[in-house]
Every structure is written in C-alpha cells, then in structure tokens.
Amino acid sequence: MKALYPKQGRVIFHVDMNSFYASVEATFDPSLRGKPIAVAGNVEERKGIIITCSYEARAYGVKTTMPLWEAKRLCPGLIILPPNFDRYRAASKEMFEILRSITELVEPVSIDEGYVDITQCYEQGTPLEIAELIQKRLLKELGLPCSIGIAPNKFLAKTASDFKKPLGITILRKRDVQSVLWPKKVVEMHGIGNKTAEKLNEIGIHTIGDLAMSSIGIVKELLGINGQKLHERANGMDEREVDPLAIYDVKTVGNSSTLPEDTQEEGVLLDVLARLSDKVALRLKGKQVVAKSITIQIKNSNWKMMTRSKQLTNPTDVGKEIFAIARQLFLSNWKQDPVRLLGVIAQEVVAKEDAHKQLDLFSYEIDAKDEPILSTLTKIQEKFGKHSIVRGVSQNKMPTFKEDTSFTKDFLQERKKE
C-alpha cells in the first residue's frame, strides 16, 4: 500500500461540507430533507439575504447572497430559516472529530472546511479509499454530505473539492494542471476575485494558463507580493503545510494612540477610534488577511487599562466595519472618565483566501460600496504618506498623539497582568 503513496511530496485532502448550514438544519429536522430550504439573515425583513441554501433550492436558481425577495420569486415554496450558529458549531466539532480519527494532521480553515494530510496514512488504504471512508462516515454518522479534493498541495486540493458537488471526490495531480486548470478563466481561480481579475484582464491575462505563462515580474508589479503567490498557484505550486495548530495561533494587527493630555470629549475620542480602525484595515489589506474578532483598549488618566472584545460573525478587513465594532465597545464601556490612550486590535487573523464569510445584506452592501473607496485611500496613503488623508476625522479637533504600531506586545503584556 505504501507504494501507492508518493516517495516525496504529500497527499492532502480538502474536505468541504456541502450546503453546511442547510444540511445541518435538515439533519436536525428530517422533514426538511429533499425540500428547497435556505438559511438567511433578517428572515422577517424584505432586505434579508441568503446565507446558504439546499441543492433543491439551487435547482430553482436560488444562490448565496441573493436577496430574500428574489429567492422567493424564483422558488415560491422556499422554506426560510434563521441561522442557528450554536447548532452549526456543534456539528462542525463532530465533523472535525471524525477527520482527526484518521490523522492528527487536520487544519480547520472555517466552520465547514479543512485540510487533512494523509501522507503517512497508507496503512489505512489508498487515498481514494480513505476519502470514501471519510465521506461515508460523515454522511452516516452526522447526516452531512461533503466533497473532497485530493491533491499534492493545499491549493490543488481546495480547487479539486469544488469540481463535484454534492458528494464528490476529485483527484487533481500537478500533471493535470495544464489540461484541467489552464483553460479556465482567471476569475475562476481560488484567491482571485472580480477586481483582481479585471486588473489581470487589462494586461492581457484572461485564463489561468495566461497567468501561469506570464512574466512573474509584471504580475508582481501589478499585484505586489500576492501576484507572486498567484503566479505560483497557477503553476500548481503551493508549499504550505497542513498545520493543526494554526487555528490556535494568536495573530493580531493593531494600532494604539497616546493622547497628549487626558481627554473626555466623546467626539475627539471617536475620531481617534475611526482613524485607528482605518489604519488597522489598511494593514490587514496589506497582509492579505482578515480578522475574526475586534478588541479595543482604553487607558484612563491613572494609566489603568481596560480591554473589551467582540467576536465577529463575518471576518473583515473593512475600516468602517472595524470602527462600528470599536465604537460600540467604547460607548458601552466608557464611564465618561478621562482617557489617555486608545487602541484598536484585529485578532484571530487568518489569510483572506481561507476566510469563511457568512454574508448578510448589510455587510455585503458595505463590501461592494466601500471597496473602491478603500482602494483609492490605500493608493493615496502609499504615495503621499499615511497622514495625507484619513476618514471621519475632524482635523480642527484632532489632537496630536503618539502612535504605536507594535501594539501586540503591549496588549498581551497587559492581558497577562489582569
């Protein structure tokens, strides 16, 4: 059996649950099986948006991020349910326990997907046999369908898992990249969104093959370090290991501001938070990562520190969203006492390409509307300096203050003291 595994290299699965939330709901209530169902935010409002839907609903043209009114028009018999995240988290925990019964080399990347390195699992069967075993166990024990991509690296495994849904198993080898991936449009490649695809199209790169065969220097000049990564992916290259501990890493991006004097004026303090939120957002975008939680730090005139955090349903790198959370945390916990320092920290940072976002209409519209604004803001600050333009700050009231972009160390030290 060992001879069926590579002597060098790895065998990696990407396990992707099919219509996870809808599948969990159908398992919880068997009467929903085989029916068109959708999980949606703001179920009672016309502006609610589809988070996920069953394949029966998709047959009517219902899609993720579609407004409820449109989904109901396409499928009058659509059964709409509000999300139950406790239920989904419990199902996710059981799903990953099954994966870890095969090997400890399991890396969750979201609530309903993860990577599994089975390179040393040859005593349990061939890669295809192990994939079939996982798929059957998830369906039999949890009632949840999944698709599995089998490949020598993460990128190809994730790409392969999308080929057959539901209940698909696909093998994608490096030698298949030219024939299988290269003919596809570049926008279909994982890690490339519409805006990146438009930029590539403008320089004559329309397919994944075009990207693979292009000059890496030109692509890197256009897209920065991310361009080099995408060029490697287009050629089937990805050296990332499956890291079981990655989900437990404490990764943060933060900025703090020390005011020149104790301040009690709410407007000034909110302006500081707005500015910090934008800076954190710019750094997140620069690192191609998003945050799963936001923390604020408030230090009073006696230098006593208080921190408050909020977990996010939708990972974000958007300044307006970060500020909305920071503002809420600040106004809910500030006792009107003088403030000497404020900090905004984006925590549980994950790679943008691996982030799993449950869209509601509010965040979906914010993303679409703010993207060109944030892109322009980034370009201006990169060209003329980070203080050349800021959003939502009253310049005549804005005090000077000391910034600390190495905020993580101080923050963690303060947490240890508490």
Rg (C-alpha) for the chain, rounded Å, is: 24
CA atoms of 314 and 334, how far apart (whole Å): 25
CB 16 within 8 A of CB 147: yes
Catalytic residue among 25, 56, 107, 113: 113
Please name the residue that has the structure tokens 């490649």: 189
Distance of CA 316 to the CA centre of its chain: 8
CA atoms of 91 and 323, how far apart (whole Å): 32
Closest to 149 (Cα-Cα) out of 186, 118, 110: 118
CA atoms of 16 and 144, how far apart (whole Å): 11
- Residue 91 three-state SS: helix
HSE-up of residue 176 (Cα within 13 Å, Cβ side): 12
Q: Which residues are annotated as a binding site for Mg(2+)?
A: 16, 112
Q: Which residues are annotated as a binding site?
A: 16, 112
113 among known catalytic residues: yes
Closest to 209 (Cα-Cα) out of 190, 187, 183, 232: 183
CB 324 within 8 A of CB 370: no
Tokens for 288?
């191609």
| Number of neighbours of residue 342 by Cβ within 10 angstroms | 25
- Measured in residues, the chain has a length of 418
* Active site residues per annotation: 113
